Amino acid sequence: MALWQVDFELVPRSVIAPSADPGTAALQDANSWAAVAFPSDYRTRLASVAAPATASNKEFETWGPEEGNRVEVWSTGGRVTRAMVRVDLRRLDSRFGAALLAFVRGASAVLVRRDGRIVEPNINEYAAALRSSDAWRFASDPAAFLASQSTSDDDDG
Sequence-ordered strand ranges (E) for 55-125:
60-63, 70-76, 79-88, 109-113, 118-119
Average of per-residue pLDDT across 128-156: 83
Cα separation, 6 vs 114, whole angstroms:
8
Cα separation, 11 vs 14, whole angstroms:
8
Structure confidence at residue 64 as a pLDDT band (50, 70, 90)? very high
| Per-residue model confidence (pLDDT) at position 54 | 85
pLDDT in tens, 116-127: 999 999 999 999
pLDDT in tens, 2-43: 899 999 999 999 988 665 454 554 455 567 898 899 999 999
| Per-residue model confidence (pLDDT) at position 157 | 47
Cα separation, 20 vs 43, whole angstroms:
34
Cα separation, 95 vs 113, whole angstroms:
20
Average of per-residue pLDDT across 136-146: 87
Does the pLDDT value for residue 108 go beyond 60?
Answer: yes
Cα separation, 151 vs 76, whole angstroms:
43
| Per-residue model confidence (pLDDT) at position 118 | 96
Whole-angstrom CA distances from 155 to 89, 96, 148, 149, 151 are: 28, 38, 11, 10, 6
Q: What is the pTM of this model?
A: 0.85
CA nearest neighbour of 46 among 119, 100, 121, 113 = 100
Does the pLDDT value for residue 104 go beyond 60?
Answer: yes
Average of per-residue pLDDT across 108-135: 96
